[in-house]
Amino acid sequence: MIASQPVKDKKTMLMCHFFNHRNQVVIARISNIPNWYLERVVFPAQRFLFEAPEDAVLEIHAPEQGTIHEDTIPCRDLCIEVEPDSIN
């Protein structure tokens, strides 16, 4: 008999929404989840919808006065409710 390793529980994924209210382009990035990475350029007044693990943290990088400014937002705070019928 060959035993395989148990299947790890799939992380709960959240549908999230970020709105770039700044007057400049920002980079939205999630890098705190092992083996999982997300990075997107988000333009001013653009909405960014994405799916992320529930313990993910969205980092916002933007140039401000010659330096890179970083905000961090837990993805739980960006979570939106999606009705199952609207996904398909």
Tell me the per-residue pLDDT of 15-68, one tens digit each, with 9 for 90 and over.
999 999 999 999 999 999 999 899 999 999 999 999 999 999 999 998 776 667
Position 50 in a domain: yes
Position 5 in a domain: no
Query: Looking at the predicted structure, is the pLDDT value of residue 7 above 60?
Result: no
Position 40 in a domain: yes
30 is in which domain, residue-wise? 20-81
User: What ranges make up the beta strands (E) of 1-88?
Assistant: 13-19, 26-30, 38-42, 47-53, 57-64, 67-74
Phi–psi pair at 60, nearest 5 degrees: -115, 120
Q: Indicate the number of domains in the chain.
A: 1
CA 46 vs. chain centroid, Å, equals 15
Query: Looking at the predicted structure, is the pLDDT value of residue 72 above 80?
Result: yes
Are 60 and 74 spatial neighbours (Cβ–Cβ below 8 Å)?
Answer: no
Residue 47 contacts by C-beta under 8 Å, 6 or more apart in sequence? 17, 18, 19, 20
